[in-house]
Amino acid sequence: MVQRVWKLLDILEETSRFFAARGLENARLQAELLLAAVLDIKRLDLYLQFERPLHTEEVDVYRDYVRQRVQRVPVQYILGATAFRELELTVTPAVLIPRPETEVLVDVALELLPTGGRALDLCCGSGAIALSLKRELAEVAVVATDISQAALAVARANGASCELEIEWLSGDLFAAVEGDFDLVVSNPPYVKSGDLDRLEPEVRDHEPRLALDGGADGLDCYRRIAHQASDHIRPGGYLLLEVGDGQSAEVEKLLAEVGRFAEVETKPDLNEVPRVVVARASST
């Protein structure tokens, strides 16, 4: 049987219809992102090549990507990569896909971290925060830690491919950490256990539970970090915590109750949602 030769525009249109029928949002965009990756071209360059005939091997790879996407595998896991600030990072299902909100956490950290300072990224996942601090601030020393060995393997590989030197540590929160820091930053798991099953299938079925599950009220990690952090922060240094929607007041309260932070405030993300709790360690 003679196999059909697909033209780029035809396969894009068919895939868009297929995605839409399966309830995927932004169906055309998703079809384009996957096809551009298969052909190793920029997405907008697809528009210059609508009549291009596809090789059988290209169609086979694309069909595999499409099959994964309708099983709700996130595009970033299918392609094994995502962009975060200035970096191109490898992502696998061992790590949370870094989110745009977390770029705001990095912005705040860059404002507060002194040149030549020492920073800790707690719960580092793919290493997105640690690597961005190292890339964007001169002479900073960065330590990063995570409880997941599988996540740390991805983070280490990202450090190597970005040619950025980070001290990667494996442990439960501060367990493996020595010395003190000018700034401790963390985006810990913060979804309430009871809400996990209501998350989007892409998140619920494919991102690591360990990266999401924040315990019954979502605050397990914040509670522990609040009690342990000041032992690892220099007087006048900072603790920065990304929080989920509606959690900032509770996290601010936890930090105030510890009595070792002089100032506690929350900064908004780009959608004006309170997102980054900033606590300054007392000077004495």
Ligand X SMILES: C[S@@+](CC[C@H](N)C(=O)[O-])C[C@H]1O[C@@H](n2cnc3c(N)ncnc32)[C@H](O)[C@@H]1O
Residues at the contact surface with ligand X, assessed by CB under 6 A = 95-96, 98, 102, 123-126, 128-129, 146-148, 151, 172-173, 187-189, 210-211
Cβ neighbours for 106, distance < 8 A, ≥ 6 positions apart: 85, 129, 132, 133, 136, 185
Nearest residue (CB) to ligand X, 14 versus 172: 172
Nearest residue (CB) to ligand X, 117 versus 127: 127
Nearest residue (CB) to ligand X, 95 versus 255: 95
Shortest CB 210 distance to ligand X, Å: 4
CB neighbour burial string for 137-150, b if at least 16 within 10 angstroms, e if fewer: beebbbbbbbebee
Distance CA 76, CA 205 (A): 14
Shortest CB 244 distance to ligand X, Å: 10
Give the closest residue to 31 by CA, choosing from 53, 3, 9: 9
**Two tokens at 273?**
């949602």
Shortest CB 160 distance to ligand X, Å: 18
Q: What three-state secondary structure class fits 75?
A: helix
Contacts of the segment 27-31: beta carbons below 8 A, 24+ positions apart: 30/69, 30/75, 31/66
Distance CA 29, CA 143 (A): 37
Shortest CB 185 distance to ligand X, Å: 9
Shortest CB 120 distance to ligand X, Å: 11
Nearest residue (CB) to ligand X, 61 versus 150: 150
Give the closest residue to 128 by CA, choosing from 158, 153, 149: 158
CB closest to ligand X, residue no: 125
Nearest residue (CB) to ligand X, 23 versus 246: 246
Nearest residue (CB) to ligand X, 11 versus 87: 87
235 Cα distance to chain centroid: 29
Q: What three-state secondary structure class fits 261?
A: strand
